[in-house]
Amino acid sequence: MDGEHFLTCPLCEATCGLKVRVTDGRVDLIRGDEKDVFSGGFLCPKGSLLHKIHDDPDRLRTPMIKRDGKHVPATWEEAYAAIEQGLTPILEAGNRNAIGLYVGNPNAHNHANAIYGRTLIQALGTNQIYSASTVDQMPKHVSCGMMFGDPDLIPVPDLDRTDYLLMLGANPVESNGSVCTAPDMPGRLKAISARGGRVVVVDPRRTRTADLADQHIAIRPGTDAIWLAAVARLLLDGAAERLGDQAEYVTGLDELADVLAGFTPEFAESICGISPDVTKSVATGLADNERSAVYGRIGTHTTTAGTVASWLVDLCNLLAGSLDRPGGAMFSSAVHGIDRAEPGGRGFRIGRHQSRVKGYPEVRREFPAVTLPDEILEPGDGQIRAMIVIGGNPARSLPDTARMEQAFDSLEFMVSVDIFLNETSRCADVILPPPSSLERTHYDLALYNLAVRNVANYSPAVFEAEGPHEEDIFAKLALIVAGQGAQADVDVMHALTLDAVLGARQAAVPEMGERPIDDLRAMVTGDTPADRVLDVMVRAGRYGDRFGAVPDGLTLDKLKAHPHGIDLGPLQPRLPNAVQTPDGAVAAAPPEFVARLKEIVETLATSADSPVLIGRRDVRSNNSWLHNVKGLVKGKDRCTLWVNPLDAAEWGMTDGDTALVASSVGELEVSVEVTDRTMVGVVSLPHGWGHDAPGTELKIANEHAGVNMNALVPPTDIDPLSGNATLTGIPVNVTAAVH
Ligand SMILES: Nc1nc2c(c(=O)[nH]1)N[C@H]1C(S)=C(S)[C@@H](COP(=O)(O)OP(=O)(O)OC[C@H]3O[C@@H](n4cnc5c(=O)[nH]c(N)nc54)[C@H](O)[C@@H]3O)O[C@H]1N2
Ligand SMILES: Nc1nc2c(c(=O)[nH]1)N[C@H]1C(S)=C(S)[C@@H](COP(=O)(O)OP(=O)(O)OC[C@H]3O[C@@H](n4cnc5c(=O)[nH]c(N)nc54)[C@H](O)[C@@H]3O)O[C@H]1N2
Ligand code: SF4
Ligand SMILES: [Mo]
């Protein structure tokens, strides 16, 4: 194992290639892999410290069982037996909805979890499914689901070829990009300006991304939808010409003049605080540059208007003539995906069932994460009595965390699959630790669907896993909830999972359809059960060998032979065939969105003028779980409240003072940082901090606890179309703390 290893960083969406040096059985250096076909050597401080998570003495290496209120180490057999004992009576009571599932962000960075999530959900048979998606990108899924018929068909800005990028609510210099996979996003943005193009950033804060952009436009939090509607209205002029042949497969264009009529630049100014001249210049920039793209992220999504804003982003792309065209907003062609032969499909719907307590519509089989505490605390048939939390920290990442923790504490039984004993897993009766990221193989099943080039990279594990693989844990949990018992053999679930994927691919890929499944199965390779499924996906995929039918096509073995990845070139147009709406056309004006836009105007026009709280990310954090790495938390305190100098003067505060910040659900005290980087009336706190909870085992994070922003975020203001939480523009009251 000593020597050089190449692996894709699993921490954020950038998928950087890492060069990992192992000496005497330990990692002693991580650098960017300059030969990586996508990242070319780029990495950030988190990637260079990835081994510190593996080596962290606080990282769990054995299961933990809670006995008399304290977690003690246990064997895997004991842990699984305890889970069987805890869950079986609840299931035997007859209502499968009594068990809830929450899956967090790291599941999107782990192909085993992505594949086996389905296996577990099927075995659970519950409709109480929650994930970090509804505090994140769900609006984008819904907008694309309605416009293109497929919630996973999401356009990304063609960064390397665009000449005009309008970016809203994203700060990739810190986040390294999201729902747009592009390692070295800062470098790619600089390259746009360097080749004579223009980058325009819309953000209530002057971020580091705004610093490197050609233009920063400050916007009032929560108002992007209104401003985008004004930009779209201006883009109607000349749109037919720019669309050209594309108009043949777009419906709803004729309605837009009516829908957008009231959204003059002057009206937008009254709500968003952006001058009409600026709005007009942006519309002109998008229209006149043949290669222009609009991209919106967290700041644009996490509001009650998230889905509508997300729709308007792509409507602007469409009207600017940028959708599905080089340099515009294009769709990736991931290696494991399958090309459709013609447009048209089942389309996308929400609300096939409703949440029990609040009646929220299901979206992609999930309910809004903000309503999880309601479903746990509110008695009645279908009440959640036990939870399984996998790779998530809802006690810090969801709104109104005090109520979330109260709900977890009230459960009859809770399982956490996590590598740390943190704010969430401390509530669990049993914690199952999967291997560290250096002990597992890696392929970005989710993120290559959103990449700005068509690439594929598979990494073998650096070290052998000490315990079961994460898919073994999923398989065992599936067996237990299926009533097979803790002793049942995981290979049964592995075989079922493989055959389910093989069967689905066989039905979709003509070259596989006629062949006996046994023959296909016999050809599958892979080091782990999840890798074997991955092999099926790659071989059946658009570049695949179709199990021998395309001899030079891709297989998992071929990916393995390319440790720096395989580059399959720039993005290619995919419309209209990729469109899966029932009529096979792109819907420019889905009626649900048009109706919701009207409602939003009414609520925003009447909203009060109190200070509002927004978030912020820092390159050395990753949501809530990297604060136990010394190299990432040392130095200046980053969990501070940003306050504009004019507000600070009015509130009688100076740098380093303690402020009391109160919202409708909570209050906290935090150190003030006075800076003109945030707008007047807008204060900012990072999320994912607040590591002082008793019963956690996070030595370094405890010493750098910070405050928990989500204690202030109310769980009530959701985007009704996606169920997404509002995480920005939270009304707060800020005063100097008196001691
Ligand atoms: N106020 C506010 N709140 C926010 C946001 C915001 O911008 N503002 N952002 C939201 C967003 S975008 C997201 S995605 C969510 C994230 O919400 P969550 O996913 O709930 O939270 P994370 O902090 O990502 O927690 C990840 C957990 O997974 C564990 N983990 C790490 N690696 C693995 C692994 O390989 N396997 C398993 N099983 N566990 C692992 C970590 O120890 C940690 O406990 O937070 C959201 N919350
Ligand atoms: N270093 C680091 N990287 C990360 C993460 C992390 O926690 N730390 N988390 C990862 C995850 S899970 C995700 S989802 C991505 C998110 O990646 P990004 O979407 O780039 O997220 P942020 O960096 O939070 O940038 C959001 C920006 O929106 C601005 N904003 C707030 N409200 C509004 C508004 O109403 N309108 C507009 N236009 N802007 C607004 C904020 O000031 C902020 O600068 O990052 C990923 N990468
Ligand atoms: S930018 Fe993201 S993928 Fe790249 S090294 Fe940093 S954390 Fe890893
Ligand atoms: Mo996220």
pLDDT in tens, 15-57: 999 999 999 999 999 999 999 999 999 999 999 999 999 999 9
> Measured at the alpha carbon of residue 470, what is the angle toward residues 474 and 466, in degrees to the nearest 5?
135
Residues in a beta bridge with 75: none
CB 9 less than 6 A from any atom of ligand 3: yes
CB 623 less than 6 A from any atom of ligand 2: yes
pLDDT classification of 603: cutoffs 50, 70, 90: confident
CB 44 less than 6 A from any atom of ligand 3: yes
pLDDT, mean of residues 467-486? 98
Name the residue with the closest Cα to ligand 1, atom 2. Answer: 687
Name the residue with the closest Cα to ligand 1, atom 40. Answer: 391
pLDDT, mean of residues 137-153? 98
CB 299 less than 6 A from any atom of ligand 2: yes
pLDDT at 314 over 80: yes
- Name the nearest CA neighbour of 295 among 452, 492, 478: 452
Beta strands in 128-196 (DSSP E): 129-131, 156-157, 164-168
Ligand nearest to the CA of 134: 1
Distance CA 141, CA 353 (A): 18
pLDDT, mean of residues 519-528? 96
pLDDT at 554: 98
Global pTM value:
0.98
Q: Are 398 and 135 spatial neighbours (Cβ–Cβ below 8 Å)? A: yes
Distance CA 479, CA 393 (A): 25
pLDDT, mean of residues 714-733? 96
pLDDT classification of 363: cutoffs 50, 70, 90: very high
CB 16 less than 6 A from any atom of ligand 3: yes
pLDDT at 606 over 70: no
pLDDT at 639: 98
Helical (H) or strand (E) element with 735: strand 733-736
For the chain, the average pLDDT equals 97
Residues in a beta bridge with 100: 387
pLDDT at 608: 63
pLDDT classification of 514: cutoffs 50, 70, 90: confident
CB 176 less than 6 A from any atom of ligand 3: yes
Q: Which residues contact 630 (CB under 8 A, 6 or more apart)?
A: 52, 700
pLDDT at 739: 75
Structure-block tokens of residue 491:
């290979």
CB atoms within 10 A of CB 587: 19
Distance CA 458, CA 441 (A): 7
Find how far residue 625's CA is from the centre of its chain: 15
CB 334 less than 6 A from any atom of ligand 3: no
Query: Ligand 2 centroid to 136 CA: how many Å?
Result: 10
Atom of ligand 2 lying closest to residue 137 CA: 14
pLDDT at 693: 96
Secondary structure (3-state) at 500: helix
Ligand nearest to the CA of 642: 2
Ligand nearest to the CA of 392: 1
Query: Ligand 3 centroid to 8 CA: how many Å?
Result: 9
CB 205 less than 6 A from any atom of ligand 2: yes
The amino acid at 434:
P
Ligand nearest to the CA of 369: 1
Name the residue with the closest Cα to ligand 2, atom 23. Answer: 171
Distance CA 237, CA 242 (A): 10
By most ligand atoms within 8 Å of CB, the mutation choice from 53, 419, 614, 684 for ligand 1 is 419
User: Looking at the chain, how many residues does it have?
Assistant: 739
Atom of ligand 1 lying closest to residue 104 CA: 19
Residues in a beta bridge with 278: none
Please name the residue ranges forming H helices in 260-329. Answer: 265-272, 276-288, 298-301, 306-319
pLDDT at 714: 97
Query: Ligand 2 centroid to 297 CA: how many Å?
Result: 7
The amino acid at 285:
G
pLDDT at 29: 98
Widest Cα–Cα separation across the chain: 77
Q: Are 673 and 636 spatial neighbours (Cβ–Cβ below 8 Å)? A: no
Atom of ligand 2 lying closest to residue 12 CA: 47
CB 724 less than 6 A from any atom of ligand 1: no
Q: Strands 733-736, 658-662: parallel, antiparallel or unpaired by DSSP?
A: antiparallel
pLDDT, mean of residues 369-387? 98
Query: Ligand 2 centroid to 686 CA: how many Å?
Result: 10
Cα→Cα distances 731→257, 297, 608, 610, Å: 34, 21, 8, 6
Q: Are 156 and 450 spatial neighbours (Cβ–Cβ below 8 Å)? A: yes
Secondary structure (3-state) at 675: coil
Percentage, residues of the chain above pLDDT 70: 99
Name the residue with the closest Cα to ligand 1, atom 26. Answer: 392
CB 20 less than 6 A from any atom of ligand 3: no
pLDDT classification of 604: cutoffs 50, 70, 90: confident
CB 600 less than 6 A from any atom of ligand 3: no
Name the residue with the closest Cα to ligand 2, atom 35. Answer: 221
Atom of ligand 3 lying closest to residue 8 CA: 3
By most ligand atoms within 8 Å of CB, the mutation choice from 49, 298, 300 for ligand 2 is 298
Query: Ligand 2 centroid to 683 CA: how many Å?
Result: 15
Q: Are 151 and 364 spatial neighbours (Cβ–Cβ below 8 Å)? A: yes
Atom of ligand 3 lying closest to residue 15 CA: 3
CB 139 less than 6 A from any atom of ligand 1: no
CB 625 less than 6 A from any atom of ligand 1: yes
pLDDT, mean of residues 667-671? 98
pLDDT at 709: 98
- Name the nearest CA neighbour of 120 among 101, 97, 94, 93: 101
- Name the nearest CA neighbour of 460 among 3, 6, 2, 1: 6
Segment 315-358, tens digit of pLDDT: 999 999 999 999 999 999 999 999 999 999 999 999 999 999 99
Atom of ligand 1 lying closest to residue 398 CA: 47
Name the residue with the closest Cα to ligand 3, atom 6. Answer: 44
pLDDT classification of 661: cutoffs 50, 70, 90: very high
Secondary structure (3-state) at 652: coil
Name the residue with the closest Cα to ligand 2, atom 1. Answer: 619
Query: Ligand 2 centroid to 181 CA: how many Å?
Result: 14
CB 672 less than 6 A from any atom of ligand 3: no
CB 621 less than 6 A from any atom of ligand 2: yes
Atom of ligand 1 lying closest to residue 473 CA: 38
CB 47 less than 6 A from any atom of ligand 3: yes
pLDDT classification of 703: cutoffs 50, 70, 90: very high
Segment 631-643, tens digit of pLDDT: 999 999 999 999 9
pLDDT at 738: 80
Query: Ligand 1 centroid to 505 CA: how many Å?
Result: 31
Segment 530-582, tens digit of pLDDT: 999 999 999 999 999 999 999 999 999 999 999 999 999 999 999 999 999 99
pLDDT at 607: 63
Percentage, residues of the chain above pLDDT 90: 98
Name the residue with the closest Cα to ligand 2, atom 31. Answer: 299
CB 435 less than 6 A from any atom of ligand 1: no
By most ligand atoms within 8 Å of CB, the mutation choice from 6, 7, 12 for ligand 3 is 12
Distance CA 253, CA 524 (A): 47
Cα→Cα distances 176→37, 201, 278, Å: 17, 15, 27
CB 691 less than 6 A from any atom of ligand 1: no
Ligand nearest to the CA of 178: 2
By most ligand atoms within 8 Å of CB, the mutation choice from 15, 43, 174 for ligand 2 is 174
